[in-house]
């Protein structure tokens, strides 16, 4: 019993500062996120922390996928929509 309590506390401590995408965004949120990403696409050439200052909802997976699209000149609304789906 004590072990489970300790595990739950550790999980809570690890996850409480996570501001990334926990759930998939709905259509309205997805459009908003895509617009933010298009406006701030230069942030995906820097660091994750730099991107999170402008877009706190960006998690590591979204950041890396968007950075890859930017590097391959495929940073389009259609491709960003696929990342967020």
Sign of the alpha-carbon dihedral angle for 26, 32, 35, 39: negative
Is the residue at 1 inside a domain? no
The C-alpha angle with vertex 81 and arms to 77 and 85, in degrees rounded to 5, equals 175
Is the residue at 15 inside a domain? no
27-68: pLDDT as tens digits: 899 999 999 999 998 999 888 888 999 999 888 889 999 999
Q: Which domain holds residue 38?
A: 21-84
More confident residue, 49 or 21: 49
Is the residue at 70 inside a domain? yes
Is the residue at 35 inside a domain? yes
Structure tokens at 50: 């730099």
What values do phi and psi take at 59, rounded to 5?
-105, 180
Q: What is the pTM of this model?
A: 0.69
**Residue pair 79/69 in contact by the 8 Å Cβ criterion:** yes
């Amino acid at each position: 019993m004590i072990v489970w309590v300790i595990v739950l506390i550790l999980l809570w401590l690890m996850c409480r500062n996570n501001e990334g995408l926990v759930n998939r965004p709905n259509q309205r949120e997805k459009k908003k996120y895509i617009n933010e990403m298009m406006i701030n696409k230069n942030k995906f050439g820097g660091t994750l922390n730099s991107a999170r200052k402008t877009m706190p909802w960006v998690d590591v997976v979204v950041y890396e996928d968007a950075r890859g699209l930017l590097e391959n000149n495929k940073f389009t609304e259609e491709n960003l929509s696929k990342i967020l789906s």
